[in-house]
Amino acid sequence: MKIEMGPATGHDWLRGYLPRPLAAARLICFPHAGGSAAFYRPWAPLLPGHVELLAVQYPGRMDRASEPLVRRMTEMADRAALAVAPLARRGPVVLFGHSLGASVAHEVARRLTARGTAPAALVVSGRPAPHRLRATTVHLADDDTLWAETGRLGGTHEDVLGSALLRQLSLPTLRADYEVAETHLPGPAAPLPVPVLAFYGDRDPEVTEDEARGWSAWTSSEFTLTAFPGDHFYLVSEQASVLKAITAGVAALAYREGGGP
CA–CA distance, 175 with 143 (Å, rounded to integer): 9
Instruction: Please identify which of the residues 32, 36, 99, 170 carries the catalytic annotation.
Output: 99
Active site annotation includes 66: no
H/E segment holding residue 164: helix 164-182
CA–CA distance, 202 with 207 (Å, rounded to integer): 9
Active site annotation includes 237: no
CA–CA distance, 7 with 188 (Å, rounded to integer): 34
Q: Which runs of E-coded beta strand occur in 31-153?
A: 51-56, 93-98, 121-125
CA–CA distance, 183 with 133 (Å, rounded to integer): 11
Q: Among candidates 30, 94, 91, which has minimal Cα distance to 246?
A: 94
Q: Which residues are catalytic?
A: 99, 232
